[in-house]
Amino acid sequence: MAAKLVVAGNWKMNMTASEGKALVDALKPLVADVCPCACTVIVCPPFTTLATVIEAAKGSNIHVGAQNVHWAANGAFTGEISAAMLKEAGVEYVIIGHSERRQYFGETDATVNARIKAALEAGLKPIVCIGETLEEREGGKTEAVLERQINEGLAGLEAASLADLILAYEPVWAIGTGRTATPEMAEDTQKAIRGFVAAQFGDAAAEAMTIQYGGSMKPENAAALCAQADINGGLIGGAALKAASFADLVKNAVAGNSEK
């Protein structure tokens, strides 16, 4: 039987608190019939929108994640947010190492690793983003880049803690460009990613791991992507900003996954 999917909307720097509430209020009835046994539905608003969205999502099957977390427990880190702050606010998931943070904010595999450890320690479930740039893909470096991001990003973790960790493969060239990896291309890479996880943590942990695809996933291509053996859901940008398109995407992803 196909493993359960995890589909998360990364709202990026969009949605004030009132806009976020309106989106979740509209989304709730649209995904109410999506069985949690088939798909975990997550929305990841900006920090200032989290509390309102957590309140709005109460009692529904919508889970809430943040988009970043600092690695220190507390202290003189102006502008940063700790794992304990997120946990106490009612956050369950946290995106770590998104390519936009790697590109614009100096995120490295070492800081990704530190953030993952802090998140797990606090009981948050990290959604760890990896992916190659266009230049890296065209230079034949895709697998080497992903292997390095996995080995260094997940260094020092126990295999058991991978059960609480999701990997999101997001080819940087497919993010916000409308240029999706074909299902076959994504599957080839996702299978390689599972292999890198197996080499570091063993086959059982790798088999059980949720590996999402992200990058121009839409209602129209979600079924074909999620029908691939090693694609266990999606991390969605643009298509997560409208309730109807996100709900359609979730349902199509579930339908695709059930073909496995």
Residues that bind ligand 13P (CB under 6 A): 10, 98, 170, 175-176, 214-217, 235-239
Helix runs in 92-131, H state only: 99-104, 109-121
- Taking the complex as a whole, the smallest distance from the CB of residue 131 to ligand 13P amounts, in Å, to 9
What residues are labeled active site?
98, 170
Place of tokens 């230079």: 139
CA 170 from chain centre, in angstroms, equals 9
Nearer to ligand 13P, 39 or 239 (CB): 239
Q: Using the minimum distance from each CB to ligand 13P, give the nearer residue, 227 or 249.
A: 249
Helix (H) or strand (E) holding 32, with range, is none
CB of 239 to ligand 13P, least distance (A): 6
What is the C-alpha to C-alpha distance for residues 194 and 150, in angstroms, rounded to an integer? 10
Q: Kindly state the smallest distance separating residue 10's Cβ from ligand 13P, in Å.
A: 4
Around 96, how many Cα atoms within 13 Å sit in the side-chain half-sphere? 33
Q: How far apart are CA 157 and CA 164, in angstroms?
A: 11
At 169, the amino acid letter reads Y
Give the nearest residue (CB) to ligand 13P. Answer: 237
Which H or E run contains 27?
Answer: helix 17-31
**Rg of the chain over all Cα atoms, to the nearest angstrom:** 17
**C-beta separation of 242 from 218 below 8 A:** no
114: exposed, middle or buried (Cβ count in 10 Å: 0-12, 13-18, 19+): middle
Minimal distance, residue 61 CB to ligand 13P, in Å: 21
Amino acid at 84: A
**For residues 6 and 205, which CB has a smaller minimum distance to ligand 13P in the complex?**
6
In whole angstroms, the minimum distance from the beta carbon of 203 to ligand 13P comes to 28
d(CA 84, CA 101): 21
Q: Quick one: 31 or 130, whose CB is closer to ligand 13P? A: 130
Nearer to ligand 13P, 191 or 218 (CB): 218
